[in-house]
């Protein structure tokens, strides 16, 4: 059982369904809404060896796209304020690295998931990400990065980054200890979720008693936070501009803001 599966089951109103063995869905009542929960979970029997531990591979990317698109299609006739929220419950170690995946076009599979989430957001569905475990690299890009609002558990085992720490050390020609030292003064290099939350991407860090096996209190607090996030998403922009205008981004992403403004000026 992964954290993604545990939290999806804990938040769900009823049964959890497997779209495929590695992608599960359920419905959850959040305030006056019935939200669709979606999570990627380990499938030890997957025919794709690189996607057996919860990674997002070919099948997972396409299934995420189909699952999100199904919600958008069924709700297309509803007014914007009644379109269902979509909650991505995230605990993914990465995208699936493998020769087969590269040959068969994993970039296309993950791009379909990204496009589906972005299309849902721009169509008026509040898209909320709840990070309960690991959220690394292309795994988070495909499943979670396109959300109006991003929430994360305030837990030391929640890791959000572009790549695994050992790989980051190798790419930057440093040791892991040297990378940790730099992270104390350069937040984007840190693997600590509280440092990630300072970058303007996180809308709320959630304190829970048991991140592995949520208590009833954890579930109720998280449902309350998700309900508030849905309300903020409906009031806010449908693009991702809030990630550069948030208080955190104004403090820690000054260069990104200047570059964005320069590019926008050139485009106009």
pTM of the model: 0.94
- The answer on 248 and 164 residing in a single domain is no
Separation CA 210–CA 145 (nearest Å): 25
Residue-wise pLDDT tens for the chain (268 aa)? 799 999 999 999 999 999 999 999 999 999 999 999 999 999 999 999 999 999 999 999 999 999 999 999 999 999 988 999 999 999 999 999 999 999 999 999 999 999 999 999 999 999 999 999 999 999 999 999 999 999 999 999 999 998 888 888 898 899 999 988 988 888 888 888 999 988 888 999 999 999 999 999 999 999 999 999 999 999 999 999 888 888 888 888 888 889 999 999 999 9
Separation CA 230–CA 126 (nearest Å): 6
- The answer on 85 and 41 residing in a single domain is yes
- The answer on 266 and 217 residing in a single domain is no
- Residue 268 DSSP one-character state: -
Backbone angles phi, psi at 2, to 5 degrees: -95, 165
Beta pairing class for 23-30 and 149-153: unpaired
Nearest C-alpha neighbor of 239 from the set 152, 137, 154, 123? 123
- The answer on 256 and 219 residing in a single domain is no
- The answer on 257 and 138 residing in a single domain is no
CA dihedral (23, 232, 30, 193) positive or negative: positive
21: left (phi over 0), alpha (psi -120 to 50) or beta: alpha
- The answer on 257 and 218 residing in a single domain is no
243: Cβ contacts below 8 Å, ≥ 6 apart: 200, 201, 249
Cβ proximity of 135 and 147 under 8 Å: no
Coil, strand, or helix at residue 260? helix
- The answer on 250 and 165 residing in a single domain is no
- The answer on 216 and 98 residing in a single domain is yes
Beta strand segments in the chain, E: 17-20, 23-30, 33-40, 86-92, 127-136, 149-153, 159-161, 204-206
Instruction: State which residues form the domain around 87.
Output: 3-236
Nearest C-alpha neighbor of 6 from the set 224, 209, 213? 213
Cβ proximity of 105 and 111 under 8 Å: no
Count how many domains the chain has. 2
- The answer on 93 and 9 residing in a single domain is yes
- The answer on 263 and 220 residing in a single domain is no
Beta pairing class for 33-40 and 127-136: unpaired
- The answer on 257 and 201 residing in a single domain is no
pLDDT, residue 242, reads: 85
- The answer on 191 and 244 residing in a single domain is no
Separation CA 114–CA 58 (nearest Å): 13
**What CATH number does the domain containing 75 carry?**
3.90.226.10
Beta pairing class for 127-136 and 159-161: parallel
Place of tokens 């292309």: 138
């Amino acid at each position: 059982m992964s954290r993604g599966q545990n939290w999806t089951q804990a938040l769900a109103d009823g049964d959890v369904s497997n779209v495929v063995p590695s992608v599960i869905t359920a419905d959850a009542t959040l305030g006056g809404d019935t939200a669709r929960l979606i999570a990627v979970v380990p499938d030890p029997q997957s025919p794709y060896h690189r996607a057996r531990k919860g990674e997002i591979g070919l099948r997972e990317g396409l299934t995420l796209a189909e699952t999100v698109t199904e919600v958008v299609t069924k709700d297309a006739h509803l007014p914007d304020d009644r379109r269902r929220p979509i909650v991505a419950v995230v605990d993914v170690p990465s995208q699936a690295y493998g020769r087969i995946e590269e040959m068969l076009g994993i970039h296309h599979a993950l791009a379909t998931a990204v496009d589906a989430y972005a299309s849902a957001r721009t169509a008026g569905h509040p898209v909320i990400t709840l990070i309960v475990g690991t959220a690394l690299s292309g795994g988070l890009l495909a499943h979670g990065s396109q959300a109006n609002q991003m929430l994360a558990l305030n837990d030391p085992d929640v890791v959000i980054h572009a790549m695994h720490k050992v790989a980051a050390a190798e790419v930057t020609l440093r040791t892991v200890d040297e990378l940790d030292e730099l992270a104390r003064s350069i937040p984007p290099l840190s693997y600590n979720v509280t440092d990630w939350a300072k970058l303007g991407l996180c809308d709320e860090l959630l304190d829970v008693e048991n991140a592995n096996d949520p208590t009833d209190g954890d579930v109720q607090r998280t449902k309350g936070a998700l309900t508030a996030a849905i309300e903020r998403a409906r009031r806010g922009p449908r693009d991702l501009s809030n990630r550069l205008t948030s208080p955190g981004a104004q403090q820690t992403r000054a260069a990104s803001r200047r570059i964005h403004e320069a590019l926008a000026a050139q485009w106009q």
